[in-house]
Structure 1
Amino acid sequence: MSVKAAKLYPCNPTTTRGASTKLSASKSKIVYTNGKTVIIRDLNDPAVVTAYAGHTQNATVARISPSGYYCASGDASGTVRVWDTVGEDNSLKGEYKVISGRINDLDWDGESKRIIAVGDGREKFGHAFMMDTGSSTGEIIGHSKVINAVAIRTQRPFRAATASDDTQIIFHQGAPYKFDKTIKTHTKFVQDVKYAPSGDYFVSVGSDAKIFIYDGKTGDTLGEFEGSGHKGSIMACSWSPDNKSIATSSLDCTVKLWDVESRKATTSWLVGSDINHQQVGNVWFAPDNIVSLSMTGDLNVFDPRVGEKPARIINGPTKAITAAVSTSLETFLTGTAEGRIIQFSAANGETSYVDGEGHTNLVTGLSSTPDGKVVSVGFDDKLREIEHRKFTPASSSLASQPKSVVTAADGTVFVAEVNAIEAIRSNQKIFELSVGYVPSSVSAHRSLVAIGGEDQKVHLYEWDGKTLKDLATLDGNKGNVTALAFSLDGVYLAAGDSSGKVILFNVDERKVLTSRWSFHSGKINSLSWTADSQHCASGSLDTHVYVWSVQKPLRNIAIKNAGPGGVNSVLWLESDGKAGKLVSAGADACARLWEITFHA
């Protein structure tokens, strides 16, 4: 028995409308946050991904030290965690409560010893401290409103600049850092400030759509970038490694490349035209690429040598993955809490959105049909159909909010709703069953349909093509039945409940085979059977995944902390009786591939 974490399919950054999202880079890796997770991913090698889930509050910014050995990440509570990036366990170096509110930005000095973190505090808006002890190394003062950004000169003599909603930039000398001067060049919120790699200059951008450049040692204003500028707030800027260019991202949906010497724009890329394409963050990563972040969370990768459009766009979920279904041995679809459906390639991790008019709210279920299509249901009370990675024009309105969906062998789609079961075929409702309990899950095998209810029972029906006939009620669960799955041969039915137990029933004999699958401590969200019907995987709110054996009920394979925040979906991509590949996905918006060897 063994479990190997084979692949991690990372989420994309979360964004907030009207706010700058901080991205950072270390060589070919970029760093960003989503919820409580910090993601470090290599854009040139999709297999190199780290997901750090040590924060108890939503992480807001993360940056790798110049040495490359540590990462500092801040969260919404004002806490900074410094952790090891080299080892697989990401061991914690230190945790420091630096301000009383949200941390908006932080930066390292060139020696990887000192950190300045800034944001929204009460008694102060920023703090300078040593990374190993947390002891103060100066004071960040002079601002009257929340600080949006900080930049530290990496060479001695150290300098630091902070940018704030009070329209001012404060220049600090260090270390220890102390107030030097106030710079009043902008007329609106200052969104970002960045030092050149050489330390000779730093630039600032703001909501007044202006860009200013300053002397890196003295803080003196050298001038403003002119000509063909942005028409909206500039949310982020970054320097090229050779110190000759800067890239800016704006709410006018454009990304511009500027020549520092002439202070003029040399290249402009228009990403789109609506709110979804507003650019809220960017970073320059090695060797010569710019990544700009769209409001939707898409990462647009630009090559400065190629104009007009991004060289590639990296899609991915930004909200919790709430449903998943396998479409082949190498691909699977996921539904998210924001209504998107995304296709993943298991081999290389490439992602792409399902095109067309989709859901406008949380996707509660996905199910594959006998003719190779996929149906989806969501909190917008719609059932939609997907074919060849596109939504078909056909859709059905549901009577009430759907909880779960499954497709029977004859192509009939059964939807468990708040107060009824609907049967839909060819986008037409052909039957509706009103029940005296609240349905919460559904599964089907051939003509059998099982409904899990909040009455802690499994209700078994037979489908004759026109109506559902009541066959039996299966007792054994100790909580609301939240997940159901027939084995592929139809012999077994696994029923997971809100207490964390999975009950295994023999379908023909209508009896409990085992109630020992009870190691979870939270609600069971998903169940999936292997092809030989001998092993069942369960994903739970307790963040764990277990693989259970029919022949050896007391033995299991545990994958602890498989999904921070809870596992919402598990599915087998392939299995041969001796080993298998299992996908889990959940609240952290990441999907993970596990290679599992079963008990001999």
Structure 2
Amino acid sequence: MAQLSETYACVPLTERGRGILISGDPKSNSILYCNGRSVIIRYLDRPLEVSVYGEHAYQATVARFSPNGEWIASADVSGTVRIWGTRNEFVLKNEFRVLSGRIDDLQWSPDGMRIVASGEGKGKSFVRAFMWDSGTNVGEFDGHSRRVLSCAFKPTRPFRIVTCGEDFLVNFYEGPPFKFKLSHRDHSNFVNCVRFSPDGSKFITVSSDKKGLLYDGKTGEKIGELSAEDGHKGSIYAVSWSPDSKQVLTVSADKSAKVWDISEDGNGKVKETLTCHGSGGVDDMLVGCLWQNNYLVTVSLGGTISLYSASDHDKTPLLLSGHMKNVTSLTVLNSDQKVILSSSYDGIIVKWIQGIGYSGKLERKVNSQIKCLAAVEEEIVTSGFDNKIWRNSLHGDQCGDANPIDIGSQPKDLSLALRSSELALVSIDSGVVLLRGTEIVSTINLGFVVAACTIASDGSEAIVGGQDGKLHIYSIKGDTLTEEATLEKHRGAITVIHYSPDDSMFASGDVNREAVVWDRVSREVKLKNMLYHTARINCLAWSPNSNMVATGSLDTCVIIYEVGKPASSRITIKGAHLGGVYGLAFTDENSVVSSGEDACVRVWKLTPQ
């Protein structure tokens, strides 16, 4: 049996020059955000408890809890809204095609009966309000000429809807059925977000013109604005009200978050500027925020979620971060402390500690893309798409300076001799490159198209897998490789090969969904019929005691086999990662870590069957 014990969630998918609109449920103290086709539910007081909804066919853009917290409406780039339950395995209630293009925002009416959505559309249909159970339209929304970035439902009767967008307009509608009442053009740039105060008395709009304007919630008339004194120096991307309707939180491209006191007459003064943590780079621009219960939540362009205390702004915020893109490789750095390193193809390496979660990002001087990652004691070795290998020493969360090793061709696979960590084997299309430290010892043309490679922990032997499905075994002496044997069993290109930790066996996987465990001395098949995936095998890992081997596939599953038992007594983890599994590692005999295209990392506890 395998049970999910921890999820290290992906971060919200962000886009430069655009805000993201996150939301939450005060009752369960959870927040919602989107990444790829996934909608992520995170609990602010239980960061390792994460739920993921992955039923959208297209990239999800925004999601909101219904007022009673029982339902979630989520939208995507195709203009579709799905309404699903927060319990019973996310049962689907309804699905409606609402707009002809991307949906940027949606809001429930306070009675939970209606939903308004806004975004891109054809003609003049940038906004639509409909009944949640039937999809029936509940109004006409004229008055916008360009994409509508945000919309809001007045939380008290009489109901009102406000919309704002790229045409610099703020439009006010009365209903239901909703009809256009009035329009304001007080902003001089994109209006990024509009929100009603919880008591319904006011609403606020924020814009790329660095201004925040306040309006009467019932009549729609402008009543005041946020003071320019101590104001934002960059585009304001999002705004959120305090539960008592007396303050707002704003975030900006100027990398700051501000708390404002809102007076009865509708003007705002800065009460506090929150100090934001980061290096001050572009990734620290703030693009999303939420005021929920006693938490002030901000989201940076790099995806980092900061949780501040609303009652004590000086308290150091809790940082939640992770990957935004496909996590392509995993390695366990220190099995005593259960330190896990994961890298995503956009060049980010994240450090996790089992039982704690996010522990920081590894800061590298050059943030190049990463294809392969290997680590040994105080060193990490990475290869990318730029023909270079980087060997960085590790000091806490800092990577020491390293000069890249240009191997002249794109690296396909990378393996370290763990007991003589100086030695590394890199496969390229035509053969392999042998490295000792930062020196290229030899570049060897093997005469066939290479797909994967591995090197024994003592550096005495290497196995190279070909595009033709053959495994070539070489002895290593000095800077030369001597072919000792060729093994033929696979019926497709080899994708991955790894020696067992005790070096007595090795395992290989291929594009034709088969894995094989071999005895290293006799070179006989030790575990056969490992044919339970339905698509290519992307990764495999051995348990520290060499008793188990796990495989991860494009079919979204992880399968764990025990070497001494028939393959049919396997453990299968179905749907481990939406879009496919790309990284696997064991932290101990009973814990396997997986990563995938959904940008999440998960820890699974194994119990004997």
Show the 5 A alignment for 1:332-411: 332-361=340-369, 363-369=370-376, 371-380=377-386, 381-387=388-394, 388-399=396-407, 400-408=409-417, 409-411=419-421
1:244 maps to 2:254: no
Show the 5 A alignment for 1:198-597: 198-226=199-227, 227-261=229-263, 262-269=267-274, 271=276, 273-287=280-294, 289-304=295-310, 311-329=317-335, 330-361=338-369, 363-369=370-376, 371-380=377-386, 381-387=388-394, 388-399=396-407, 400-408=409-417, 409-411=419-421, 412-445=423-456, 446=458, 447-550=460-563, 551-575=565-589, 580-597=590-607
2:139 corresponding residue in structure 1:
138
Q: Percent identity?
A: 34
Tell me, yes or no, if the aligned pair for 2:309 and 2:315 is still in contact at 8 Å.
no
Give the C-alpha shift of residue 358 in structure 1.
4.4
Are the structure 2 counterparts of residues 473 and 358 from structure 1 closer, same or farther at C-alpha, using a change threshold of 3 Å? farther
Q: SS in structure 2 opposite 1:344? A: strand
Q: Which moved more, 1:488-497 or 1:111-120?
A: 488-497
Q: SS in structure 2 opposite 1:554? A: helix
Q: Which moved more, 1:26-35 or 1:484-493?
A: 484-493
Counterparts of 2:117 and 2:477 in 1: how far apart (Å)? 65
Normalised to the residue count of structure 1, the TM-score between the two structures is: 0.95
Query: 1:390-436 CA distances to partner (integer Å, 9 max, x unpaired)?
Result: 21212432322222211113221111223332222222222222222
Q: Which moved more, 1:525-534 or 1:109-118?
A: 525-534
Query: 1:536-581 CA distances to partner (integer Å, 9 max, x unpaired)?
Result: 1000111111112322123211111110011001111111xxxx11
Superposition RMSD on alpha carbons, in Å?
1.8
Give the C-alpha shift of residue 160 in structure 1.
0.9
1:103 corresponding residue in structure 2:
103
Structure 1 counterpart of 2:268, which letter?
R
1:5 maps to 2:4: yes
Tell me, yes or no, if the aligned pair for 1:521 and 1:542 is still in contact at 8 Å.
yes
Query: 1:316-337 CA distances to partner (integer Å, 9 max, x unpaired)?
Result: 1111101000123322000011
Counterparts of 1:4 and 1:68 in 2: how far apart (Å)? 27
Structure 2 counterpart of 1:207, which letter?
S
Structure 1 counterpart of 2:292, which letter?
F
Give the C-alpha shift of residue 189 in structure 1.
1.0
Q: Which moved more, 1:36-45 or 1:426-435?
A: 426-435
Give the C-alpha shift of residue 309 in structure 1.
9.0
Query: 1:331-355 CA distances to partner (integer Å, 9 max, x unpaired)?
Result: 2000011101001111021231012
Structure 2 counterpart of 1:318, which letter?
M
Counterparts of 1:358 and 1:333 in 2: how far apart (Å)? 18
Counterparts of 2:318 and 2:101 in 1: how far apart (Å)? 36
Q: Which moved more, 1:258-267 or 1:94-103?
A: 258-267
Tell me, yes or no, if the aligned pair for 2:424 and 2:455 is still in contact at 8 Å.
no
Tell me, yes or no, if the aligned pair for 1:61 and 1:104 is still in contact at 8 Å.
yes
Give the C-alpha shift of residue 65 in structure 1.
1.2
Query: 1:34-79 CA distances to partner (integer Å, 9 max, x unpaired)?
Result: 1111111112212321111111100001111111111111001111
Tell me, yes or no, if the aligned pair for 1:496 and 1:524 is still in contact at 8 Å.
yes
Structure 2 counterpart of 1:554, which letter?
S
Structure 2 counterpart of 1:497, which letter?
D
Give the C-alpha shift of residue 104 in structure 1.
0.4
Tell me, yes or no, if the aligned pair for 2:289 and 2:296 is still in contact at 8 Å.
yes
Give the C-alpha shift of residue 194 in structure 1.
0.4
Segments of 4+ moved more than 6 angstroms: none
Give the C-alpha shift of residue 306 in structure 1.
5.3
Query: 1:120-174 CA distances to partner (integer Å, 9 max, x unpaired)?
Result: 0114112111222222222332211100001111212111101111111111112
